[in-house]
Structure 1
Amino acid sequence: MATGDPRERLRALAGERGDSLAALSAMLGRSHAYLQQWITRGSPKLLTERDRRALADYFGVDEAALGGPPTVAAWRAPRLDVAASAGPGALIDDEAALGASAVPPELARALGLQRGRAAIIRVRGDSMAPGLADGDELLVDEASSSPDARGGVYVVRLDGVLLVKRVRRGARGYVVTSDNPDAPPVGAGDVQVIGRAVWQMRRL
């Protein structure tokens, strides 16, 4: 049996379950000969998306097994039990994951994210206002941790304090600043760049 052939795959699935092709056709709201003709005569040439999905769900298989495009695996980023401070800062003792949140594969691809190298954290404070507000969530690209001279918004540790700030590379190292002109200046210290904030999420 050529399991790569979707017609033979459906025939095998039906046989394993003891389902007749006529009964499966009726389940789809089609004539009793619908699936028999598809398997033996190649008519229609392809199952409709609706029919293919219904059959895949019924048999618990990927749509690709029945001639559809392969299902894109869910892209998930850990949601960390930390809050990057956009205010005075917060000491971080532990970064235990609270779970994971799905990231649309198309978005992950557009942002150039790598699996296992991204995380979601929450903003606390208003030193990066108006761009970032208290409670915003940031998708952080941990593979992007080397700011250039133009800089960007990064999550950093400054002397053990986790912050979200604007960071650029200067002549003597990283320059860390806030966007809010009313925020106090960022003190000097040992800067460790965690990753670049590449996507902002805000509850309306």
Structure 2
Amino acid sequence: MNDLSARHALDRLIAERRERYEALSRLIGRNPAYIQQYIKRGTPRKLDEADRRTLARYFGVDEQVLGGPEGVAPIPAKRRQPPVVVVPRLSLGASAGAGSLDDDERASGAMAFDPAWLREMGVKPDALSIIRVDGESMAPTLSDGDEIMVDGADGAARLRDGIYVLRLDDVLMVKRVAMGPKRGRFSVRSDNPHFPNWDDIDPALVDIVGRVVWTGRRVG
């Protein structure tokens, strides 16, 4: 298969699976524009061997479909990976302590999730991101080092009681939001009683980044 056919084949697979160029770029550890540039501009001319192998396994196709050499043994069906949604893991932390400012929101990796599970969660993959919790102010609900999934499509317009990532005074933090009796007013609370709360906040002072919908942590 020539280089142009390989690019067309990959683009067709992406369209059929409703994948995103940037998510697949992160899957192979490249910058977000890498796959789009490869398909649309032919840069690079060929996929790196390791990248091609990863994408072939991800889509469950033979490497030859993506420009690999003939004679490469196909991936056994039982080893083919089911479709997954790749969610970017951002290189920043949301403070659950005294507050930390970090404007570096570049992707530092990705995590893969079952699309059926995400549908059950009622979230849209394009609006999701994974970030790290810094600090202990949300303990025991969230601990320092936990990974949280943030739904950026569920923000200020649908604000309700729950845990959110927000910016207050240019500080990125993860806190519990408690709606108040006055329409539109709310409090920002820490689950850990040893940390402060902010009561009856003016919504204009807070930027709601998104609602926390899932958390994962290392055991042991």
Shorter-normalised TM range: 0.5 to 0.7
Q: Residue in 2 aligned with 1:185?
A: 197
Alignment of 1:22-171 (within 5 A): 73-146=83-156, 148-149=159-160, 151-170=161-180, 171=182
Report SS of the residue matched to 1:127: coil
Shift of 1:73: 3.4
Shift of 1:143: 1.0
For the 8 Å contact 1:174–1:191, the answer to whether it is kept is: no
In structure 2, what is the Cα distance between the partners aligned to 1:154 and 1:111?
Answer: 16
Q: Residue in 2 aligned with 1:203?
A: 218
Report SS of the residue matched to 1:108: helix
Shift of 1:133: 0.6
Corresponding residue pairs, total: 139
For residues 57 and 92 of structure 1, do their structure 2 counterparts lie closer, same or farther at Cα, with a shift above 3 Å needed?
closer
Shift of 1:197: 0.6
In structure 1, what is the Cα distance between the partners aligned to 2:113 and 2:143?
Answer: 21
Structure 2 residue identity aligned to 1:98: S
Shift of 1:74: 2.1
For the 8 Å contact 1:148–1:168, the answer to whether it is kept is: no
Shift of 1:92: 2.2
Shift of 1:115: 2.4
List gaps (5 residues or longer) in structure 2.
1-59, 66-80
In structure 2, what is the Cα distance between the partners aligned to 1:118 and 1:75?
Answer: 10
- TM-score, normalised to structure 2, is 0.57
For the 8 Å contact 1:77–1:120, the answer to whether it is kept is: yes
- TM-score, normalised to structure 1, is 0.61
For the 8 Å contact 1:72–1:105, the answer to whether it is kept is: no
Report SS of the residue matched to 2:125: coil
For residues 135 and 109 of structure 1, do their structure 2 counterparts lie closer, same or farther at Cα, with a shift above 3 Å needed?
same
Structure 2 residue identity aligned to 1:127: S
Shift of 1:103: 1.4
In structure 1, what is the Cα distance between the partners aligned to 2:192 and 2:212?
Answer: 17
Larger Rg: 1
Matched, 1:176 2:188: yes
For residues 59 and 95 of structure 1, do their structure 2 counterparts lie closer, same or farther at Cα, with a shift above 3 Å needed?
closer
Name the one with the larger helix percent. 2
Report the RMSD for the aligned CA atoms in angstroms: 2.3
For residues 178 and 96 of structure 1, do their structure 2 counterparts lie closer, same or farther at Cα, with a shift above 3 Å needed?
same
Report SS of the residue matched to 1:116: helix
